[in-house]
A and B are shown apart, each in its own frame.
Chain A
Amino acid sequence: MATDVETQDRRKRVYDLHSWSGICLGLIVFVVVFSGCIALFRAELQTWADPARRLDLAANPAPIHDVFDDWIVGVSEGKEVTFSSLSFPSASDPYYAGFVNVRDEEGKIVSHQQRWDTQTAAEFEARQAGAVRWLYDFHRELGWPKVLGGRQIGRGLVGIVGVILMLSILTGIITHRKMMKEFFTMRYTRSVRLKWQDTHKVLGLWSLPFSVMISFTGAFLGVVALLLPVMTLIVVQGDTEQLVKKLGLGPQDKAGVAVEMLSLDEVRTKRHSNTDLPASSVSITNWGDQSAVYEVLYKSDDKLIYYQQKRISGVTGEPLPATPLQEQNAANRTVGAVAPLHYATFGGIALKFLYVVLAIILSVITAFGNLMWLERRLYGNEGNRSEAFYRRLGRFTVGTVMGLPVATAGVLAYDLMYTGAEAARYNSVIAAFFIIWFAILALAMVIRNQYWATRGFMALTGAIFALLPVINGILYGEFFWQAISTKHSNAGWADVSFLITGLLTLGVSALMPTRRVETQRKPRAAKDYRPSLVPGE
């Protein structure tokens, strides 16, 4: 049976683990969680970001099969087509989108993309990936550079952030013994530290189910993708070829006989036999060959599965056996539910807005945790370093935490106003993002009054978000009140959301203090006095 001293030591160790894992990685957790707020709305923001995509969706889209076939013939120029796909039009993406990988003479894979409108199947040039795509990539992979390992490593690092968040949640729960009482304890009139501490605990407790879910699904999507090949290699002791064959994951051999492909227009009109979902896209293997296979995807927006999938012959349309990864068994369904849970694709736009609120709460929890740690060292009796060191750390925290929202809003505005070469848009957006962020960080390091700095940066964020609809309307001639009533209302509603976000942020910044409020301690009553328990003191 553990003694009181042992229990106290254990509680202190767990508390230290919570505290140190939070302070060492809390800022990175904040960055990943906050960037997820925009990543959630990637699909909805695409037409907002690129006016060329605000097309009218035809009730009966123009046939695309022959156009797609001619395009593949044109871009491949007789070389091997290793992969191709066609996305069908939808309300959020009112156009056809084609993608093809071609192996060139040196064996390198070259990708090509094209879009066609639904009225006439005419080609149109859409913008290259910009701010919305960058913010999504930043959340998923931190934009990790290729020279340091690229997307796979970045994704693994984000997954580790999810693991650390899970650890912080577990240690946080163990540390707090009086959880039921702490659910409703908010001491606003006491010291600054107590105010932040109570906010940290209350927000943490009330958003616990969401935090547990988002940390686990994030850890799974990031870490397991990295660890699964390692584990598989260990389990098969290097014989991956045998495993790939056993799981039916190997490439489909070509028959070498050229035949006419099953019409993609016919595939588009057929709904899923069980769920009645419309076909959203088709991935094609061995296009133009007798062995061609169509993997038809039926995207779900109200189920805990990203999409249903069917394999059919690309020549006859006959159903083919599902691969082991496509079978609708318990394991595949469980894993298939992770991405929809993480990205809130199963409950409509209202669910996404709920996720945003909870994600901002989680961001605030991590930021407040860092501030509490600093507060105990600047105004308490913890810590061995100088006051100047902790003040610099405090400024760094403010600059990082407040710089990210400013950079997010700023880069969305930059992308709207960008007039440079399309091929350079994505890299230009990345540069603008980090320049803005580091500029705010540099400012925060020199501003002595951190309360004033935080308030100012928050006001700047709100102002930029509120200006986004204005910039959009001036540049593209369609303000949100006009866009909402058209068929491509996503852009209009995105503007409304930015306006509301901007105004709310400005309102919150107006309520923030401009200086540290002095500690208000309750005067100690005579009856509260207890003599020291240490003899001789």
Chain B
Amino acid sequence: MSIVGITIAAVVLGILGFATWRRPRLMGTILWSLVAAILLVCASIVLTPGELLTRIIFITFFSPIVWVGLMFWCYYDKRQWRAVGSLFVLSIASIGVIIVSGPIA
């Protein structure tokens, strides 16, 4: 990755981080819930047993519901940082599961 690319990525992450610090529930709803939903669905596909295509289809089928549930949780939870923090933890844990399990094809 070039220096320019790294710089742009750092700036974007900085802006997102600042926005999350100022408005955690809003950023959780707009962005982090989507990231967590995608990674959670991927980790679920990796972890669940069964025929590959069936897992991909069935679990992806529920991805809009997972996404909406996570968005709702950002505003439902009494503690704003508990909800948003949990999204980060879920995302990191999902990445860990995907990396440790290796490619499933």
Q: When chains A and B are docked, how far (Å) is the Cα of A231 from the Cα of B40?
A: 10
**Residue in contact with A228 in the complex, picked from B60, B98, B103, CB distance below 8 Å:** B60
Residue B14 at the A interface, CB < 8 A?
no
**Residue in contact with B64 in the complex, picked from A166, A235, A242, CB distance below 8 Å:** A166
> B53 to A325, Cβ gap below 8 A?
yes
In chain A, positions 213-245 with a C-beta closer than 8 Å to chain B are 216, 219-220, 223-224, 227-228, 230-232, 234-239, 242-243
**Residue in contact with A242 in the complex, picked from B61, B71, B72, B105, CB distance below 8 Å:** B105
**Residue in contact with A231 in the complex, picked from B42, B58, B65, B68, CB distance below 8 Å:** B42
In chain A, positions 440-481 with a C-beta closer than 8 Å to chain B are none
Q: When chains A and B are docked, how far (Å) is the Cα of A331 from the Cα of B61?
A: 9
> CB-defined interface of B85-105 with A at 8 Å, one 1/0 digit per residue?
000000000000010001111
Known contacts A13-B75, A14-B76; A227 and B60 CB within 8 A of each other: yes
Query: In the complex, what's the smallest C-beta–C-beta distance from B44 to chain A, in angstroms?
Result: 10
Query: In the complex, what's the smallest C-beta–C-beta distance from B23 to chain A, in angstroms?
Result: 12
Q: When chains A and B are docked, how far (Å) is the Cα of A16 from the Cα of B75?
A: 9
Chain B interface, >50% SS class: helix
**Residue in contact with B38 in the complex, picked from A227, A247, A330, CB distance below 8 Å:** A227
Total A-B pairs, Cβ < 8 A: 101
Q: Please, how many residues of chain B have a CB less than 8 angstroms from a CB on the other chain?
A: 31
Residue A4 at the B interface, CB < 8 A?
no
Residue A246 at the B interface, CB < 8 A?
yes
Residue A10 at the B interface, CB < 8 A?
yes
**Residue in contact with B42 in the complex, picked from A14, A235, A247, A325, CB distance below 8 Å:** A235
Q: When chains A and B are docked, how far (Å) is the Cα of A247 from the Cα of B52?
A: 8
CB-CB under 8 A from A10, the residues of chain B are: 76, 78
Residue A6 at the B interface, CB < 8 A?
yes
Chain A residues within 8 Å of B, Cβ to Cβ? 2, 6, 9-10, 13-14, 16-17, 159, 162-163, 166-167, 170-171, 174, 216, 219-220, 223-224, 227-228, 230-232, 234-239, 242-243, 246-247, 324-325, 329-332, 334-335
- Since A13-B76, A332-B57 are in contact, a sample of 5 more A-B pairs with Cβ atoms closer than 8 Å, ordered by chain A residue number, is A14-B72, A163-B64, A223-B67, A224-B64, A330-B54
**5 CB < 8 A contacts A-B:** A163-B64, A166-B68, A167-B72, A170-B68, A174-B76
Q: Nearest 4 A-B pairs (CB), nearest first? A: A243-B105, A331-B57, A242-B105, A219-B64
